[in-house]
Every structure is written in structure tokens, then in C-alpha cells.
Structure 1
Amino acid sequence: MDKENETRRSIGARRNPASAEAILEAAEAVLAEAGHAGFSIEAVARRARAGKPTIYRWWPSKTALLLDVYQRQKRFAYPDTGNIEEDIAAFLHALLANWRNTASGPIFRSIIAEAQSDENAAKALAAYAADRRTQTGTMIERAKARGEVAADADPATIADLVSSFAWSHLLTGRLDANETKLKAVARLIAQGIEKKGDT
């Protein structure tokens, strides 16, 4: 197998060679020191003492690299409480708190902004969002299996609804939504998709 193809990264890869790990650490350091405005593949390459071709082999764009840096900043798991309303509320609480309390919020906001004017950034963000949509949709699939959610409820569409609330709060600086509000949002979504009793 071609070594380059064997080591080529995708957005959703979990593990990387040691050299890729060094590049990610360098990317985090550059972002922390210079901010998004000073973040570039060239700066990361200098910091990691790596060639730009090596970086572009694993990350086809600056945004793809930023998305992996963002993933390293995220510190929460998808909840499984046994109740879809509680799952959604817990998910939103954890996500907004993570964006608020770590560098992940500003990083993701800059990624969304860049995707509005850069085609490669837009593609990288779309690929990431598709993967997250699938992951968030697992909460809905579990709820279906428990008999909480209507059979015709589309997990991807519901995941988009949940993400839309979160993204809008990120982009408008409203990451301090309290638990009462998040529970109310979760209740509205859960009521809209709940399995109705026999009539």
C-alpha cells in the first residue's frame, strides 16, 4: 500500500502518527500565541519543524487542521440518561459550557466565519457537521429503541435542530444560557418528536 495513502488523514480520524501529533501540538501553540489572525500552515510548519507538504498531506486546508485542534479542545461525551429530553438538555449544557470555558468556542466560531468565504473551509466544515450530525443522531436512535420517539422522526433533522440552537448561541455570544432555558428547549424538541399514544 502506498505509504502516503496509508497515512492520509480524514477529518474524523482518531489516531495519528507521532509526527502528526507534533503538528497538532504546534498548531495549538500557534493558535494560543497568535490567535486566529496569526494562524497559518506556514507558522505551524515552522513551529513543528515540519514541511508544509507533510501538513497538507494530512490536512488539505487550514480549516481542516483547525477542526482537529478544535476536537482536541472538546471535553464532553454524548449523554445517555435513558430519557431523550434529559439527553438533549445535558448535551446542550455540556457543549455550551465547553465552548464558554475552553478555547474551543473561539476556534469553532472562526471556522464557521472562514467557511463563509472560503470553499475549502466550507467543505471541511460540512464534512465535520455531517459526522457530528450522525453522532448526535445516536441519541435519537436510542430514544426510538426505548419507544420514546416517533418512528418517522428523522435523527439527522433533529440533530440539526439541536445544533442550530447551539450554533446560534455561539455566533451571537449567548453561551451563558442557564439550565432552566436549556431544559425548556429540550422539552420543546422532545415534545415535537415524542411517540404518540394509540387513539
Structure 2
Amino acid sequence: MTAKKAAETRRTSIGAQRNPDSQDAILRAAEEILVEGGLGSFSIEAVARRAHAGKPTIYRWWPTRAILLLDVYHRQKYVDIAPDTGTIETDIFQLLSGLLEFWSAGHGGAVFRSVIAEAQTDPAAGKAIAAYMADRYQQGGEIFRRAKARGEVADWVAPELAMEIITSFAWKRLLTDRLDITPEELRLVVRHLVEGFKVQ
């Protein structure tokens, strides 16, 4: 391919403002590479080649590989982090069942495992995932704030910490490849978790 042809096929950027077509192509390319070859095959260079995008554009929009990985994951995610069913036990059951199903039904689980793996060796990735999870705990903590207002849980319960404990179960299942769980088993798990938070 000539330099002129390469320039013509390379997707255009509009400066610091993201071009929606380019953004979608980059995220789609990144997801495909992760699914096909795992984290070992994932690089900004590989994403740029597949998306027909320039590396400077990718680095301008995603300064680190970890931030790009998180965007790939977040692009897929549709789980309601704070369902409102009227009871804390059912709220947490819906949260966990939705999350485990999302991770097992498509590529979400594989992508998030890649994000976690990246965080083990890259301090920037660790900070990015910590910030992402802190935001998720804050959002999901609404489950416990509502439960407090209904008098279901004790006053000492810290909503964000409680969410971290709840989602730790899901993380362990993801990282040990044990996402299959029956509704009956999950309800028992939720009951074990919730009983410790309830007003005695």
C-alpha cells in the first residue's frame, strides 16, 4: 500500500474532540484483538493497524493501555449496578445475577480479566481500575443507602465498603472461571452476605 493510500484509508481525527466513527472503530478493534488472542496479543500498535487509526490519535484519547481496556469493557457493560426492587436481598441478587450472566454470556468476562491482569504489572492500570471501581462502589452503594432508609440494615453499615464485599464474590468467580451458578445457589450466597448487614 502506498503512503497516499494509507493516508486515505486511515480514519480521520478531529483534534482533541473524538471522532465517533474513529472511536467506535478503535474500541471494536481492541475488543476483537482481546477476544482473539488475549492480553498477550494486545498492543496499541495492533489496535491502530486493525482500526486504520494513527497511534498518536489513540494515545491522545487513551493515554494508557489500561484506560483503553476499561473503555472496551465499559462499552459492553449494561448491568444495573443499583437495582431497586424494594428489598436489599432481591436488589443484591439481581445485581450479582446480572453481572455473572454478563460476564459469561459474551466477551465481557474475558475483557475484564484482561483489565485485572494488566493492573497486576502496571501501576497506571492499577490506579485506573481502582478509580473505576471506587466510582462503581459509590453508585452501587445506593442499594445500601435505600436499605438504611427502609430500616433493613444497621446504621453502622458503610455502603461503599459493603458493595466492595458483595462484588468481591463475583470477582472471585470470574478469576477462577466459576461463573456458572444456579439461581438457588446464588440466592443462598446472597442470604449469607445480607444477614451480616441486617439490623439485629
Shorter chain as denominator, the TM-score bin is: 0.7 to 0.9
Q: Which residue of 2 aligns with 1:183?
A: 187
The structural deviation recorded for 1:17 is 4.1
How many residue pairs get aligned? The number is 184
> TM-score scaled by structure 2?
0.84
> Match for 1:53 among 52, 56, 74?
56
Identity of aligned pairs, percent? 53
Note if contact 2:113-2:174 (Cα within 8 Å) is conserved in structure 1: yes
Extract unaligned runs of 5+ from structure 2: 1-14
1:21 aligns with 2:8: no
Q: Which residue of 2 aligns with 1:142?
A: 146
The structural deviation recorded for 1:120 is 1.6
Note if contact 2:153-2:197 (Cα within 8 Å) is conserved in structure 1: yes
The structural deviation recorded for 1:33 is 3.6
Alpha-carbon distance in structure 1 between the residues aligned to 2:103 and 2:109: 4
Alpha-carbon distance in structure 2 between the residues aligned to 1:91 and 1:31: 26
Q: Which residue of 2 aligns with 1:65?
A: 68
> TM-score scaled by structure 1?
0.84
Note if contact 1:73-1:102 (Cα within 8 Å) is conserved in structure 2: no
Note if contact 1:99-1:106 (Cα within 8 Å) is conserved in structure 2: yes
Asked which structure has the greater CA Rg, the reply is: 2
Alpha-carbon distance in structure 1 between the residues aligned to 2:79 and 2:117: 24
1:40 aligns with 2:47: no
After alignment, is 40-49 or 82-91 more displaced? Answer: 40-49
Alpha-carbon distance in structure 1 between the residues aligned to 2:32 and 2:177: 25
Note if contact 1:81-1:87 (Cα within 8 Å) is conserved in structure 2: yes
Amino acid at match of 2:151: G
After alignment, is 143-152 or 80-89 more displaced? Answer: 143-152
Q: Which residue of 2 aligns with 1:13?
A: none
Amino acid at match of 1:144: K
Note if contact 2:138-2:160 (Cα within 8 Å) is conserved in structure 1: yes
> Match for 1:92 among 90, 93, 96?
96
